[in-house]
Chain A
Amino acid sequence: MAVWLRLAACMVALAWAGAAGAQQVTLRMWMHEHPPRIPIDKQIVAEFEKANPDIKVDHEIIPVAEYPTKLLTAFAAGSGPDIFNQSSMLVAQYYNAHILAPIDYAAMGLPNEAALTSQYSSGFDGIRFQGKLYGIPTEVSNWACFANNAIWREAGLDPDKDFPKTWEALPAVAEKLTQRDVNGVPRRRGFDFNWPNRATFWFMPNTMLHQLGTTMIDEENYKATIDTPAARKVFHYFQDWANKYRLGGPQYTDARTDFLGGRLATDCSFGIWGIPQMAAAKIDWSVHPAPRFEGAVSDNGIDIYAFYMMVNARSSPSAQKAAWKLVRFYTDHAAELFAGAGLFVPRKEVTESEAYKNNPAAPFFLAELKKARFSPRVVGYDQVVDAILRGRDAMLQGQSVETVLPTMDDEVNAALNRERARAAAMAR
């Protein structure tokens, strides 16, 4: 009898363990590498697992250079993560491929969209498609112009008073800050665009075109709008910068590196996250709004980009629910992520935090953020940027802007049409 009782008890225990095992959800979470964020991530995940014993999280950090390819190949192999982060520049292809799950507000413990978005002052425009949201921002960033105060003063300029308000006034100020050798070659640049950085020639032309009331790509109709008078004005500006004024160009070292090394007086490719690097390089800096065009119709600074946490629509329904729960838990730690890793989101907890109040540039960035816009989100981002860079280089090699822009327009349209045709074919 005792033997039978023991056997029955064992059966009950096994059945209970089996049921518990069946309820356990294991989430795979992939994030790109940002070293200061990693210990915070681990802490958040550990807290989440403790608060949710039925959910286990496999958290994987992937080097930035490998991240886009690894993510895509994993999705191709059907082994994509349940939760992943990606930038606003690259989210369109995931949306287009039906990989993004729309936000499950109930799983996040929220009644509706307004309950989520009311916590943020901006940042959702980069992840809204056809009226629906597909992710929550973990970083909303914009670049602004940093001046090396010591170099400015050495040139007899006061950055607070003399920083140019317009793009038209910038070359003259940059010239005063530039040191040249006997052949007129800049030995120290006054200001230069970050030519080697691919994103620069996505953000900067779009920023300038937004100021002039247009854009490079009509996102609604998925059509390039590059061969326009406004675009001609913008690309003439870049061409003159390198060829006529000889204030810089793609042949020089990355602008951020030279700014931190004291070889560039002004750089407009740092976000708020760049301040610790300037402190480490012992740069006495001041931050200024990006110039606007004279007669600009929009008072926007440099375009915004954001990183979003998103959920894989191909994961099981139970995994998706658990994933949205984790996304809410993670993004509720926004203040810690800003204090420890410099990742800013325009959210009340962040703007009321000590770290925000102690950061002298934070109110400036928030004010610029409110005026800035997202660059268009397109499938085939790299194809489009390559076409722009090819055109830019052709102009710098001496071809006229008027000759190059129609070709650039055609190439970008060809890339957009190809992606749209492919999406239509896939839908069929």
Chain B
Amino acid sequence: MIGRTRFRFHFKWWGLVFVLPAVGFFAAFNVFPMLFGLYLSFTDYDLLNPPLWVGLDNFANLLSDKLFLTALRNTLMFVAGATLPVWILSLFAALLFDQAFRGRDIIKAAFFLPVLPPIVVVAVIWRVLLHPNGVMTWLIGGRWGMTEIRWLADAVLAPLSMIAVHDWAAIPFFMVIWLAGLAGIPAEQREAAALDGAGPVRTFWYIELPHLRATAVLVAALSSINAFQAFALQYVLPTDPGGPANSTLVLGLLVLKYGFQYFRMGDAAAVSMVMFAMILLVTIVQLRFNRRA
């Protein structure tokens, strides 16, 4: 009995020793920065002088901060453009590639290609394609005799261009998740539906879609979290990050501006906390849906 107790005691200590590096790493690089960020959000800190405690001032100031309100509006618009169309079009692509047809694997691989390069590389490529006198102008404007379209220099077109480039790279990724969901649907149910005379639409609606509810929640959750954290496209694509006239300024970019261009670390931390709260809220809502699914 005593021996067993001692064995357990040793076993636990060894376990702790083994997990300690991972826990230490997590605490140092995840937990501590988050807590420090929370602390900074209650301070005025310019990096060069010690932080000054200002309580909730930074959060209160955000309510009347034009830049924050612009970035919030732009972020919500970007989230809308980067989730709903992605959700629908990636599902549509998955249903297409779930069918057997000649050359499917090659076309599917080609369709998946935009996922492979990092988003910064995608942005650099699209910056060239979206040059006012570039390929996209020739492809789209050429039909109407247009030789210049200010894709990235027009305050209306620039945010739409961001959404289009994002969706181009995101749809193939989420298509793969939908395909995994479709692969999990028992074949006999589809066969039974076919025997009962159900067409593709009815089969999708009554057989496939109910099976895909968990996948649907996952795609919605991942795409919206991803969109809330938007940064790279808005930083690399426009001539001036967030421009023109702040039309592509999103919260992630505002954190960078406040923190490392304006050296207002307290405001940057406060914006980060708001972003964190928004993403947390969306995640909780979607997890609830997931449980029901």
Contacts and interface: CB of A to CB of B under 8 A. Distances in A.
B47 A72 contact: yes
A426 B153 contact: no
Contact of A93 (B132, B133, B263): B263
A249 B133 CA distance: 13
B153 A249 contact: yes
B83 to A, nearest CB: 27
B244 A185 contact: no
Contacts of A393: 155, 240, 243-246
A250 B152 CA distance: 10
Interface residues of A, number: 38
B48 A397 contact: no
A383 B245 contact: no
A380 B262 contact: yes
B208 interface: no
Contacts of B153: 249-251
Interface stretch (B141-149, B216-224, B270-278, B279-287): B141-149
A380 B47 CA distance: 13
A183 B261 contact: no
B239 A426 contact: no
Contact of B52 (A396, A411, A425): A425
Interface string A375-397: 00000101100100110011011
Interface residues of B, number: 31
Contacts of A390: 243, 245-246
Nearest to B50: A426
Majority DSSP secondary structure for residues of B touching A: loop
Interface in B47-106: 47-49, 52, 66
A182 interface: yes
Given A69-B260, A183-B145, A380-B262, A93 B48 contact: yes
Nearest to A99: B48
A422 interface: yes
Contacts of A182: 145, 147
Contact of B245 (A195, A382, A397): A397
A94 interface: yes
B213 interface: no
Interface string B96-123: 0000000000000000000000000000
Contacts, number: 83
A251 B150 contact: yes
B279 to A, nearest CB: 25
Given A75-B47, A97-B46, A382-B262, A396 B244 contact: yes
B263 A251 contact: no
Interface string B220-259: 0000000000000000000110011110000000000100
A398 B155 CA distance: 10
Given A182-B147, A393-B244, A195 B239 contact: yes
A397 B145 CA distance: 22
Contacts of A220: none
A94 B48 contact: yes
A185 B148 contact: yes
A251 B132 contact: yes
A198 interface: yes
Contacts of B133: 185, 187
A76 B147 contact: no
A72 B45 CA distance: 12
Given A72-B47, A73-B47, A76-B47, A397 B52 contact: no
Contacts of B146: 183
Nearest to B44: A422
Contact of B152 (A97, A185, A251, A394): A251
Contacts of A99: 48
Majority DSSP secondary structure for residues of A touching B: helix
Contact of B49 (A249, A394, A426): A426
Contacts of B240: 196, 198, 250, 389, 393
Interface in A237-259: 249-253
A154 interface: no
A181 B260 contact: no
A425 B152 contact: no
A394 B245 contact: yes
A224 to B, nearest CB: 16
A72 B132 CA distance: 37
A75 B49 CA distance: 9
Contacts of A196: 239-240
B239 A250 contact: yes
A162 to B, nearest CB: 28
B52 A426 contact: yes
Contacts of A251: 132, 148, 150, 152-153, 239
Interface in B150-195: 150, 152-155
A94 B46 CA distance: 11
20 contacts: A75-B48, A94-B48, A181-B147, A183-B145, A185-B147, A196-B239, A196-B240, A198-B240, A250-B239, A250-B244, A251-B153, A382-B262, A383-B262, A386-B257, A393-B246, A397-B154, A397-B245, A422-B44, A425-B44, A426-B52
Interface of B: 44, 46-49, 52, 66, 131-133, 145-148, 150, 152-155, 239-240, 243-246, 257, 260-264
Interface of A: 69, 72-73, 75-76, 93-94, 97, 99, 181-183, 185, 187, 195-196, 198, 249-253, 380, 382-383, 386, 389-390, 393-394, 396-397, 411, 415, 418, 422, 425-426
Given A75-B48, A250-B243, A389-B243, 17 more contacts: A69-B260, A76-B47, A76-B48, A97-B49, A181-B147, A249-B153, A250-B244, A252-B132, A382-B262, A393-B155, A393-B246, A396-B244, A397-B245, A411-B66, A422-B46, A422-B52, A425-B52
* A-B CB proximity, top 9 nearest: A97-B48, A251-B153, A393-B245, A76-B47, A393-B244, A382-B261, A185-B148, A251-B132, A196-B239
